[in-house]
A and B are shown apart, each in its own frame.
Chain A
Amino acid sequence: MAGKTLYDKLWENHLVEQREDGSALIYIDRHLLHEVTSPQAFEGLRLAGRQPWRRDANLAVPDHNVPTDSAERAGGVAGIADPVSKLQVQTLDDNCEAFDIVEIDINDVRQGIVHVVGPEQGATLPGMTVVCGDSHTSTHGALGALAHGIGTSEVEHVLATQCLVQTKMKNLLVRVDGKLLPGVTAKDVALAIIGEIGTAGGTGYAIEFGGEVVRGLSMEGRMTLCNMSIEAGARMGMVAVDDVTLDYVRGRTYAPQGEQWDQAVAAWRDLHSEEDAVFDQVVVLQGEAIRPQVTWGTSPEMVLPIDGTVPDPAQIDDPTRRAATERALVYMGLKAGQSITDIPADKVFIGSCTNSRIEDLRAAAAVVKGRKVAASVKEALVVPGSGLVKQQAEAEGLDRIFIEAGLQWREPGCSMCLAMNADKLGPGEHCASTSNRNFEGRQGIGGRTHLVSPAMAAAAAISGHFVDVSTWEEA
């Protein structure tokens, strides 16, 4: 019999009931909540007269609607200018209070994007099943956890039963061999993978990321990679536990300590695929072949290396793809054959659950240090992923570097990633963004998002257009 994959092990460790019809009841260890997808779930509990099954499984934090402007932020919930956003954040506070759920609220220094806060607090740990009403819950798989997004009905289901009804996914191994060249980061790897397999390539699969490149990534980098599993069509992505994982988890607020830590480590050491495990599909990329990536279109799979040129629809045979390419070129205001480096960056956004951790901010700061944002750039935001990331960055003086270069230093939250608060693009504006989605209107109606790494976004801020950060120093 073939050995088990990491996903197989995580699945089996949480299997409550296997049913004859192929579905299974899976136990959920950790449930994270935010203000956008939870109100209707709490309402459902109320209507049915139900209580949370296990309150210590839950942790809530508002992020999507939270203002990132310091002045507006200083007023707490009451200070949120948009009344609809305020109501949503207030509703989360009220529901957590009513159902006795621990919340890291807007005034808490630990507040931030739920996918940054979970691992940072040790609320998500290796070997856990982790869910949240948010598709980027895949991020937490970086710790060797089984983590995926769920809809609001499932949020209610988890609150009420601590379980989900699931069918097992197939196993996909994405292996990145070799080494990354200087200036190439986890974000570029994630985008290159999506470029390779497409936005539906992972549909129906649980992805495990492996290979020398992945082993060599920090936890921050692994989180960036797993974060974008959903853009590759997979609900979940994961990385096996190793010393990097353990070093990251040790000492975090909600992580086990003392004897329990040793016991946990012994269990976590088993969280990897067996040598003889068989995957339903394997995709291999070579690290050295990956260049810094930039998306040119309106789907994350519309991605090219920085030295690429925008595709020509006339050369695409498949009619659906050709139509999609034509539409994307019109929306993005680009011409077939145009060089990626000719695309302007009207705005720059460094942040989101993909790239707002300390390492991301360090990488961006290293690029802008001692330089100035180009005069043509209307706005450049740096939005740390959490209050603790912000503190750390300030302790290292990164905020000064950004401010001196002409970037804005903000309070933590989702911010311009989805433009639910005041941070957004105007029609036709091109944005160098470290977020994860470049859909039409994602960052504001008519806005044109180009997904890049933090270093690439920083270089675009300085140059006013996209540039190859890996050769940029000499230029």
Chain B
Amino acid sequence: MKAFTVHEGLVGPMDRANVDTDMIIPKQFLKSIKRSGFGPNCFDELRYMDEGQPGQDCSTRPLNPDFPLNQSRYQGASVLLARENFGCGSSREHAPWALDDYGFRCVIAPSFADIFYNNCFKNGLLPVALPAAQVDQLFQEMYAAEGYTLTVDLSRQCVVTPSGAEFAFEVDAFRKHCLLNGLDDIGLTLESAESIRAFEQQHRERAPWVFGAIQ
């Protein structure tokens, strides 16, 4: 997994509440059996005027001029500014894959859906939850200044604005550790293989019906 330490990048808006995973990556693209290549279809239904199909060349499709991320001033955005309950809906990891493949490294919103939040960390994408009033302020600053960038510092757990203001955010210690170091979760868990086996043995005595029924 890609590590995330400090990232400075152009900010782009997704200015609506309850952005769901269908919106982030519509279901027709879930049929892929790969985990890359979803970027051109990120926000597909909002971004293009036509209906997207898997395997299509997106570079010639008509863009929706009303979709903010299509404006030239947001090209190359790597920090997504969003509203409450971002990423609600399905558990599809295709959503963070699509955001990552589009070029986002960080999503800032007042709140996130649990499964999406969790999936982001597995893919080197940092979700940052800030109080709604602060997010609102960032939206205003971004709209007011073309080329608006933010610095997201995971080790210090803060977002730094161009004027030097700092907004602190929470992140749990284990996720932070994995993301800072780009660690493979599975490898880490397998270091506990002995505890897992010991637990399993005890569990088998206590609840034997959990084991062996499906063969």
Residues of A bordering B, CB below 8 Å: 13-14, 16-17, 19, 21-23, 25, 27, 29-30, 36-37, 39-40, 43, 48, 50, 53-54, 56-59, 64-65, 82, 84-85, 87-88, 91, 102, 122-123, 125, 127-128, 133-135, 137, 148-154, 156-157, 160-163, 165, 167, 199-200, 203-204, 230, 233-235, 254-256, 260, 263-264, 267, 299, 320-321, 323-324, 327, 418-420, 437, 439-442, 445
Contact = CB atoms under 8 A, between A and B. Distances in A.
A445 B51 contact: yes
Contacts of A256: 208-209, 213
Interface centre among A23, A160, A165 (most CB of B within 10 A): A165
Contacts, number: 211
A196 B202 CA distance: 42
A256 B209 CA distance: 6
Nearest to B215: A56
B91 A40 contact: no
B3 interface: no
A123 B214 contact: yes
Nearest to B34: A40
B75 interface: no
Contacts of B156: none
B88 interface: yes
B91 A133 contact: yes
Interface string B89-119: 1111100100000000000000111110011
Nearest to A125: B209
Contacts of B211: 54, 56
Contacts of A102: 214-215
A125 B16 CA distance: 40
Interface residues of B, number: 65
Interface of B: 16-18, 20, 22-23, 26-28, 30-35, 45, 51, 54-55, 83-85, 88-93, 96, 111-115, 118-119, 122-123, 172-175, 177, 185-186, 188-190, 192-193, 195-196, 199-200, 203, 206-215
Contact of A203 (B23, B113, B190): B113
Contact of A420 (B31, B45, B91): B31
A30 B214 CA distance: 10
B26 A441 contact: yes
A418 B92 CA distance: 13
B123 to A, nearest CB: 7
B27 A419 contact: yes
B111 A200 contact: yes
A128 B210 contact: yes
A133 B35 CA distance: 15
A23 B174 contact: yes
A290 B89 CA distance: 25
Contact of B192 (A25, A64, A235): A25
Given A125-B209, A203-B114, A157 B196 contact: no
Contacts of B215: 56, 102
Given A149-B91, A167-B172, A255-B209, A327 B45 contact: no
